[in-house]
Each structure stands twice: as C-alpha cells, then as structure tokens.
C-alpha cells in the first residue's frame, strides 16, 4: 500500500509539473538585442493536441510601457476577462515602449510579428486561422502590419485607426491614392472596421476612406460606425458578440473563395422602439427586489413605462419587444420581464448588460 501511494503521489506530481497554466501569461522576447516583455492569453480549454486560432492584439497609446502589463487592461483583453467563453483564441499582446511612439515603426512591427511567431510555435497556433486587431494607435498598426505581411492574417479588425498618421500630416495630401495602395494589397483579406461617429481623436473619415478604397477594388469589408460614440469605440467593438464568430468564420484557405462584399452600418444610440400595446405595461408595474432588498420600482404614466432605482433615479423604459426594454441613454442594459409558466403572471425581471446579469424577484404583493 505504501509503495502504491508513493507511485500515485509521484505520478500526480509529474502530471502537475507538466500541466499547462492558462489565462494571462507573462513572456519575454529578445529582438535585435533588446528584451521586450509581453503577455499571451491561453484559454482554459486549451489543449496541445489541437491547433488553435490565434489573435495578435495591438494596444493604444495610453498603454505604452516596458512592464508588459498595461496593454492587458483595455480593449480585447478587457472583453476576454468579462466573457472568456466568447473568445476561444490564443491572444498575443505585445507592448510599445515609451521611447517608441508608434506600432507603425518598423522595429515595433518586427517585435509584434516576433511575439506572434513565438506564441504560434509555443502553443500550437493555427497559421490558417491567424487574426490581427488593434485600437487607436494599434488600429494604425493593424493597417501597416497587415500590408507588410500579406497572406498572413485570415481577417483584420482595425478599431478607430487609420493610415493617415498624425505625426506625418502631409499624408493627407495623398488621400486620393494612398488608401488604394493599401486596398490593393489587402483586397482578399476580410476587414471589419469599427469607429465612433463623434471621434475627436482619430477622424472617422480615416475608416470611410479605407472602406471606399476596399470597396472599389472588390474587397471584403465591413464598417460599423457608432452614432454619438467618441474615441472609446473599442468597448462597443469587442463587446459585439458577433465579432469572435466572424473571425472564426474566416481562414486563409476559405478566404480564397469569398465573393467581394462591402457593408457599411451606422449603429444607432439605441434600437428603434417596438410598437406594442401599452396595456401590457400594467403586468410589469411593481417592486422588484434581490433577497428582500428593493432594486427597482416599475411604474406607468400614460403610455410610458418607467423605472425608479433604489436611490430614486427615474429612467424611461422603451420596448425592444413585448417583454424586453432598453434605456434611451444608449446603455447596454436590458430589462427582461419573465412570467411564471403555470400562471402567466410576471414573476421576476432579468437585468442584463454586457458584464453580468441579475434576477430580481417581483414582490408577492405586486403579483
């Protein structure tokens, strides 16, 4: 028995020793004699026996540094922390040091591609399903890295970026020819651009020009512009539940057979309210609590429905459907009223946004 226990303990220790850590992992790489710190994200479900889709993510200017960590706080890494189940990818996150200002610098592009190659080799990344995305400063980097590395990425996602660099304003003089130069190289590469319509930092005109250029050469391009959103459109972009599915639908193999397409969408601040009979509002009126603590009071005034939260703030609820309501402010929150299957009476309300969801029970006196 003692021998058996010893063998079991030895086997368990060896298995633990060889078990691969997942999550956000620190890495370093030596490029031209300089050590760069960066991070790679490994999904919890990662297994070495299979090839994995892999994303190279380029951060914005506010995340520059040498510690190799700040770039994991904004954009795609933040979206992964909120919903890791949506992102079954290896994600490589290099960092621009302070003494370099741009992802478009040749040495920084070399660092980015070196980290991608290193993690593709270490964790069995799939060269056929390799993707590129970045925001702001990184959005500029996306265009440049993709152009300089054709036939490498199965799809690219520039977020509030462009090709007209602020440190070289004379580039705007070439706006009739420069976009076409990029578009000709990237015409067979699926592109999904995101931009805020009110962006004061990177003009949405940058994305408009690239959309028009890619469309003119029969490219494969989508452009989602968000009304009333300023620079931080990355919160909307990486919270878009369609984005990871769109990426996974593309591979270098399948891209060769794609037909040209160009889709431009202006995403409104909030949906167009549904037309429903206001009489249904009566079923939703009441108080809703969580463990006996009042969360919201729902009341009706004429043909309008309102919510009062626990600190007394009142907001109108607009119908997205007969039982789902949103806020005119453009918040991602939704209130979904749920009925008892047996009685049909409204039993509780589901409060859901991109971060989490909560069930609040309707007080029995209101049912």
pLDDT one-digit tens code per residue, 95-104: 999 877 899 9
Q: Mark whether 242 and 312 lie in a shared domain.
A: no
Q: Tell me, yes or no, whether 178 lies in a domain.
A: yes
pLDDT of residue 10: 46
Domain boundary among 267, 298, 322: 267
> pTM, whole model, 2 decimals?
0.85
Q: Tell me, yes or no, whether 4 lies in a domain.
A: no
> Structurally, how many domains does the chain consist of?
2
By DSSP bridging, strand 90-93 and strand 52-58 are parallel
* 16 — pLDDT class (breaks 50, 70, 90): very low
Distance CA 287, CA 84 (A): 34
The stretch 219-234 carries a mean pLDDT of 96
Q: Tell me, yes or no, whether 68 lies in a domain.
A: yes
By residue range, what is the domain housing residue 336? Answer: 278-366
Write down the H helix ranges in the chain.
2-18, 76-82, 106-122, 137-148, 178-186, 205-216, 234-239, 242-248, 252-255
- Contact indicator for 159, 136 with CB cutoff of 8 Å: yes
pLDDT of residue 365: 73
Domain boundary among 267, 295, 310: 267
Q: Convert the pLDDT of each residue in 292-317 to its tens digit.
A: 999 999 999 999 999 999 999 999 99
Q: Mark whether 138 and 197 lie in a shared domain.
A: yes
Q: Mark whether 29 and 58 lie in a shared domain.
A: yes
* 286 — pLDDT class (breaks 50, 70, 90): very high
- Give me the CATH number covering residue 345: 2.40.128
pLDDT of residue 1: 54
Domain boundary among 267, 301, 329: 267
Q: Mark whether 208 and 311 lie in a shared domain.
A: no
Q: Mark whether 48 and 187 lie in a shared domain.
A: yes
Say whether pLDDT at 29 is over 80. yes
Specify which residues 338 forms β-bridges with.
348
Query: What 3-state DSSP class applies to 176?
Result: coil
Q: Tell me, yes or no, whether 3 lies in a domain.
A: no
Say whether pLDDT at 15 is over 50. no
Please tell me which residue, 366 or 342, carries the higher pLDDT value: 342
- Contact indicator for 366, 285 with CB cutoff of 8 Å: yes
Distance CA 311, CA 153 (A): 49
pLDDT of residue 329: 83
Q: Convert the pLDDT of each residue in 115-170 to its tens digit.
A: 999 999 999 999 999 999 999 999 999 999 999 999 999 999 999 999 999 999 99
Q: Mark whether 320 and 286 lie in a shared domain.
A: yes
Q: Mark whether 95 and 57 lie in a shared domain.
A: yes
Q: Mark whether 297 and 161 lie in a shared domain.
A: no
Query: What 3-state DSSP class applies to 133?
Result: strand
* 355 — pLDDT class (breaks 50, 70, 90): confident
pLDDT of residue 2: 55
* 270 — pLDDT class (breaks 50, 70, 90): confident
The stretch 271-279 carries a mean pLDDT of 93
Please tell me which residue, 13 or 187, carries the higher pLDDT value: 187
Q: Mark whether 106 and 214 lie in a shared domain.
A: yes
The stretch 215-243 carries a mean pLDDT of 96
Of the ranges 9-18, 26-35, 155-164, 336-345, which one carries the lowest mean pLDDT score? 9-18
* 67 — pLDDT class (breaks 50, 70, 90): very high
Q: Tell me, yes or no, whether 75 lies in a domain.
A: yes
Q: Mark whether 138 and 177 lie in a shared domain.
A: yes
pLDDT of residue 18: 58
Q: Convert the pLDDT of each residue in 171-187 to its tens digit.
A: 999 999 999 999 999 99
Q: Mark whether 261 and 177 lie in a shared domain.
A: yes
Stated as kind and residue range, the H or E segment containing 273 is: none
- Contact indicator for 107, 96 with CB cutoff of 8 Å: no
Q: Tell me, yes or no, whether 272 lies in a domain.
A: no
Q: Mark whether 202 and 284 lie in a shared domain.
A: no
In which region does residue 29 sit, left (phi positive, over 0), alpha (psi from -120 to 50) or beta (all else)?
beta
- Contact indicator for 219, 183 with CB cutoff of 8 Å: yes
Q: Tell me, yes or no, whether 11 lies in a domain.
A: no
User: Across the chain, what does the average pLDDT equal?
Assistant: 93
Say whether pLDDT at 367 is over 90. no
Q: Tell me, yes or no, whether 5 lies in a domain.
A: no
- Contact indicator for 149, 186 with CB cutoff of 8 Å: no
- Give me the CATH number covering residue 110: 3.40.50.1820
């Amino acid at each position: 028995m003692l021998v058996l226990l010893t063998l079991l303990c030895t086997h368990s220790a060896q298995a633990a020793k060889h078990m691969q850590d997942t999550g956000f992992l620190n890495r370093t790489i030596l490029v031209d004699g300089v050590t760069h710190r960066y991070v790679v994200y490994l999904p919890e479900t990662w297994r070495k026996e299979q090839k994995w889709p892999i994303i190279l993510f380029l951060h914005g200017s506010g995340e520059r540094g040498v510690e190799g960590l700040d770039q994991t706080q904004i954009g795609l890494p933040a979206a992964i922390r909120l919903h890791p189940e949506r992102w079954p990818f290896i994600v490589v996150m290099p960092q621009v040091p302070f003494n370099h200002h741009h992802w478009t610098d040749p040495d920084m592009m070399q660092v980015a591609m070196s980290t991608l190659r290193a993690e593709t080799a270490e964790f069995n990344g799939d060269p056929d399903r390799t993707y590129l995305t970045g925001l702001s400063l990184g959005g500029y980097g996306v265009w440049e890295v993709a152009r300089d590395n054709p036939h490498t990425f199965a799809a690219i996602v520039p977020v509030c970026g462009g090709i007209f660099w602020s440190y070289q304003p004379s580039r705007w003089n070439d706006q009739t020819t420069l976009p076409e130069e990029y578009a000709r190289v990237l015409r067979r590469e699926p592109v999904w651009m995101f931009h805020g319509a009110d962006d004061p930092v990177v003009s949405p005109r940058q994305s408009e020009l690239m959309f028009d250029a890619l469309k003119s050469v029969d490219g494969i391009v989508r452009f989602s512009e968000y009304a009333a959103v300023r620079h931080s459109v990355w919160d909307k972009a990486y919270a878009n539940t369609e984005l990871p599915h769109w990426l996974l639908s593309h591979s270098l193999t399948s891209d060769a057979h794609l037909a040209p397409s160009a889709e431009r969408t202006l995403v409104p601040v909030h949906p167009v309210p549904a037309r429903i009979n206001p009489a249904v509002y009566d079923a939703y009126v009441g108080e809703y609590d969580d463990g006996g603590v009042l969360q919201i009071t729902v009341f009706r005034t004429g043909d309008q429905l309102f919510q009062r939260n626990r600190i007394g703030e009142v907001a109108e609820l607009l119908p997205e459907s007969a039982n789902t309501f949103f806020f005119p402010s453009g918040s991602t929150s939704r209130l979904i009223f749920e009925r008892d299957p047996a009685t049909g009476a409204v039993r509780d309300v589901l409060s859901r946004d991109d971060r989490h969801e909560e069930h609040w029970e309707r007080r029995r006196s209101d049912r």
